[in-house]
Structure 1
């Protein structure tokens, strides 16, 4: 495996994979995905995975996974183990999976332009973002700004913005969206929960 360097928030990648399970193979698919999740989360740069069943009792599933960078995802998908897992999952699904890739902050929520995922409204996204931004900006203002306030104003603003974006992208928003996902995505039925505090994908 190739060790990837630490990526900036703008480089983080959210991968959304849509699959339809073969009739009668739902239990086998869910069991295989549990094993695959363990394999995926052990890989450097993989930051978590969620499995959504789009309709209760249906056969359409969406996997949402996050990586710290495109390079980390490429390293993961180029391994022989990954290829073997894709062959195994292909035997349990119909046709080829549809894969969408989101970069940076757009991966916080299911976007309106990504088909197949539940779509939280703009008000819900705004509320969830506020819940994440308010405590982070308050803490940064109290704990960081006093130590850098002698710097030029533009530099202070740049440092504060960078810290807030890093914390939101890598720590806070994955936690907020996980905590609120039943409210944000009321039509989705979660069948496998994320494996890490930071949330990555196949």
Structure 2
């Protein structure tokens, strides 16, 4: 965890990877159902995403936690409640958890267990972000325009752009990063 001003002042993401032991996936899922509501009860919690393994031979789960700023994330990561839950998961995982704390736009382009020494080239980040914004603008605009018609122009823009940014950050960018991974990070 970094102590820079930007890391302490702005949205922060923790990416936690667990390699679950074979045939203990159900117990791990039960553990997830228990710990997630506890994390959500902490100040500054903005959301959690669980990336489950898709291939039979892969047993790695990735938990992506979003907090409003570094101090609140730190409180959760160092809390007694979390430590109790981490003790409970130890028999279910193959090795100690891997926790990465990320801030800023680069979190959209970082996949767990594939940490990069350098972020993708700036033009690639811009192009993928543009693609995501374009897609969401077309879809969200088409859906929301009829509903927001009676509102003033500025309010419509605030609502539409806010929804687009939220969808981009929490749903679309992780998918686009996976889809374009080889292009973003050529060998």
Provide TM-score, normalisation by structure 1. 0.58
SS in 1 for 2:43: coil
Instruction: Tell me if the contact between 1:47 and 1:66 (Cα under 8 Å) persists in the aligned partners.
Output: yes
CA distance in 1, matches of 2:114, 2:89: 19
Instruction: Say what the alpha-carbon RMSD is for the aligned residues.
Output: 3.8
* Alignment match of 1:115 (pick from 93, 113, 116): 113
1:76 aligns with 2:72: no
Tell me which of the two structures has the higher relative contact order, counting C-alpha pairs closer than 8 angstroms and 6 or more residues apart.
1
Aligned residues: 150
Whether 2:135 is the aligned partner of 1:143: answer no
Cα offsets for 1:157-192 (capped at 9, x unmatched): xxxxxx9xxx77xx64441251465454259xxxxx
Show structure 1 runs of 5+ residues with no match.
1-6, 136-141, 145-162, 188-202
Greater shift in the superposed pair: 28-37 or 47-56: 47-56
What SS does the aligned partner of 1:107 have? helix
Moved over 6 A (4+): 121-124
* Match of residue 132 from structure 1: 133
Contact 2:109 2:173 in 1 (8 A): no
Q: What TM-score, normalized to structure 2?
A: 0.62
Q: 2-side partners of 1:71 and 1:180: how far apart? A: 25
Matches of 1:43 and 1:49, distance apart in 2: 12
* Greater per-residue strand proportion: 1
Tell me how far apart the structure 1 counterparts of residues 129 and 8 of structure 2 sit (CA, whole Å): 16
Which has more helix, going by share of residues? 2
Cα displacement (A) at 1:18: 1.5
